[in-house]
Structures are given as C-alpha cells and as structure tokens.
Amino acid sequence: MPPPTDFETYELGDLPLAGGVTLPDATLAYKTHGTLNTDGSNAVLFPTWFSAYHSDNEWALGEGKALDDYFVIMPNQLGNGLSSSPSNTPAPHGGADFPALSMRDQVTAQHRLVTEHFGLERLALVVGSSMGAGQTWQWAVSHPEMVERAAPIVGSPKTSEHNKVFLASLRAALITDQTFAGGRYDPDKPPVDGLRAFARVYAGWGFSQAFYWQQAYRNLGFSTLEEFLTGFWEAFFLDDRDPNNLLTMVEAWNNADVGQSPGFDGDTEAALRSIRCPVLDLPCRTDLYFPPEDEQHWSQFVPHGQVQVIPSIYGHFAGLGADPDAVAFIDRALRDLLRN
C-alpha cells in the first residue's frame, strides 16, 4: 500500500526543535474530518502513532461514533514521511542528518497548526494511540490552557525501561543490515533484510501471546502464522517505510518523558500533577510494551486522572483499531469522557 495522498500541508517555516536545531521549511501534513462549529468548541486533535499515517486513525471515526459531531484534526507526526521527515528533507538536514525529534517538537508543530491556521483557543479533546498517546500526554502538560480532555490510548507519559529494550531491539535489527550504512543508504536500495528483521521483532511485541495462541490473525484475514508475518508485518514495514524515518521515530519514542518539559527538570510526577484536564488513560490488558500497570502508576499523579483497561487479547494493536470489540470499548469511553 502506498502512503495516503489525501492530506493538506501546513507550512511551518522555521521550526525550532527542543534539541537545539532549527528545521527550516518544516511542514506538517494533516487531514480534518467534520466541521468546526462557530464557537470553536468541537475541535479534537488526534495525532498519529509510530510509522502510521493519519489514515491509520480513521477506525475511530464513523456515523454514530463518539467523535461524529466533532471537528477532528489528524496531524501526521514529524518523521512519518508525510510531515517533515528524513526522507523528504533536503540537505543539510535530510536522511541520516535529520535532527532528533521529541514529543515536545510534535506538540510545538501541532500547536502552530491549531492556533495559527485554525485559530483555535481550545481543544475539546486530544486523543491518540501509542506514540499518539505520548503526544496527547505532552499536550496536556504543555498546554493546560487549551486541552479540555485527554485520552491517551495504549501509550504512556514516559517510556519505560522495558519499552526502551524493545525499541533497542528494533533499532539493532535494522542497523545490523550493513546496507543501512549509518543511514547513508541508497533510497532506491534500502536495507531490506534489516527492515524484514525489524518487522519480525515487532511481530512478537505488537500482539499478545493469547492473540497468537487463539490464532486471532485469522480475524485479520490471514490463515497461517507465516502469512501474517509476511502479509501483515513485512508488508507494513517493507512497502514504503524509510529506515531513517523509522529510527527518527524510534528515538522520539525512546526519549518520551513529560518530565523533560520546561519547568519540571525531569520530574515526571510533577509534570503529571500540573495537568488540569480530565485524563482518561486507556491501556490494553495484554499490551506487551505499554502494560496497564505502568499507567496505573502514572495516573495516580494526575489530579483528574482515570484508567480504564481495554479487555482485549489484541495487545498493543487493540488500541490501533485492530479489534472491533476494543474499538467499541474505546468509543464508549470517549463518549463518556466527552459528555462531561
């Protein structure tokens, strides 16, 4: 599947990044759904997950769904290949020379989109899955004046050490392919073996033990394990994902921590205590890298924090639209959150 082309692009110009580098001519690709009402009270921001596009969020939309009457803005995260990324940035910042990104950089770019371009002063909801949840947490900390509700799904305000080990294994699998050449590969001859290994590693983590035990990949249209590993996982990462893009996002994920926001000096708990809005944290019971225990821990510091555990065997992908029951569970949770 080629990347989607149904998006608009906001020209950010110079984008100063938290790491110190200013990215010139930065762009943010986004798509909107629905209509903004006259008082601007129905805007929802829905950032993307790791290596996903805006289209990968659309499972949460549809007639009768919680977000149906909202104006939903789906910004593609920087680094995903549609917004400014290693793969589409010219020298001296392209490819292996692309600067490191953080969750704060994503929020900086998105804040400019929603304020400068859409003229919004508040967001009825920020919601996102996985790295989109990381961006959601960062929004709640960085812009308490704007965010009225936050719903991080299968993600965390701070990447745990175990999660970092998972990410280190993804990175190692990819860069072990000598074709990667420190990121200076020929774009026409990407490190295919490394991408395949990346997909294999991810396959073990993305869904749960119970998912595989029950062969629930059959529900996704694959009749054997081998078909699922190739038709789902390899297809996802080998079709059009750029390795430098992937590693840029891996690093941003790895370093995520709302405690690194200005004024908190690395104190994640203090950053969480500063959040004003209700936060409905939605981990999945069987998520292997964002386990619900972590979110139970972090949520205790959020003044209006609540955790609802998605009861699914789909693991992390329960939060990415793969499980119809989980989609319904999340939709009910968002509906309740938006009612208040």
Q: Which residues are catalytic?
A: 130, 287, 316
160 lies in the binding site for a copy of itself (CB under 8 A)? yes
* Min CB(297)–a copy of itself separation in Å: 8
* Min CB(323)–a copy of itself separation in Å: 16
- Each residue 197-236 as x (binds a copy of itself by CB under 8 A) or -, in order, gives x--xx-xxx--xxxxxx-x---------x---x-------
* Min CB(318)–a copy of itself separation in Å: 16
Kindly report the number of other CB atoms within 10 A of residue 41's CB atom: 15
**Among residues 6, 63, 145, 161, the one that binds a copy of itself under rule CB under 8 A:** 161
Q: Which stretch binds a copy of itself (CB under 8 A): 45-53, 87-95, 125-133, 284-292?
A: 284-292
Kindly report the number of other CB atoms within 10 A of residue 39's CB atom: 7
- In the numeric block, the tokens 């000598």 are attached to 178
Backbone phi and psi for residue 293, each to the nearest 5 degrees, phi listed first: -60, -40
Point out which residues pair with 123 in neighbouring strands: 147
**Among residues 8, 162, 218, 219, the one that binds a copy of itself under rule CB under 8 A:** 162
196 lies in the binding site for a copy of itself (CB under 8 A)? yes
168 lies in the binding site for a copy of itself (CB under 8 A)? yes
* Min CB(183)–a copy of itself separation in Å: 15
Contact 98, 72 (CB under 8 A): no
Burial environment of residue 111 by CB neighbours within 10 A (0 to 12, 13 to 18, 19 or more): middle
**Cα 109 to Cα 16: distance, rounded to the nearest angstrom:** 9
Residue among 88 and 254 whose Cβ is closer to a copy of itself: 254
Residue among 9 and 219 whose Cβ is closer to a copy of itself: 219
Q: Which stretch binds a copy of itself (CB under 8 A): 49-57, 252-260, 277-285, 291-299?
A: 291-299
Residue among 39 and 161 whose Cβ is closer to a copy of itself: 161
Residue among 39 and 226 whose Cβ is closer to a copy of itself: 226
Residue among 33 and 171 whose Cβ is closer to a copy of itself: 171
Q: State the angle between helix axes of 103-112 and 131-142 in degrees (0 to 180), rounded to the nearest 10.
A: 70
169 lies in the binding site for a copy of itself (CB under 8 A)? yes
* Min CB(249)–a copy of itself separation in Å: 18
**Cα 254 to Cα 182: distance, rounded to the nearest angstrom:** 19
309 lies in the binding site for a copy of itself (CB under 8 A)? no
* Min CB(95)–a copy of itself separation in Å: 21
288 lies in the binding site for a copy of itself (CB under 8 A)? yes
Instruction: Give me the residues that bind a copy of itself (CB under 8 A), please.
Output: 160-162, 164-166, 168-169, 171-173, 175-179, 193-194, 196-197, 200-201, 203-205, 208-213, 215, 225, 229, 288-289, 291, 293-294
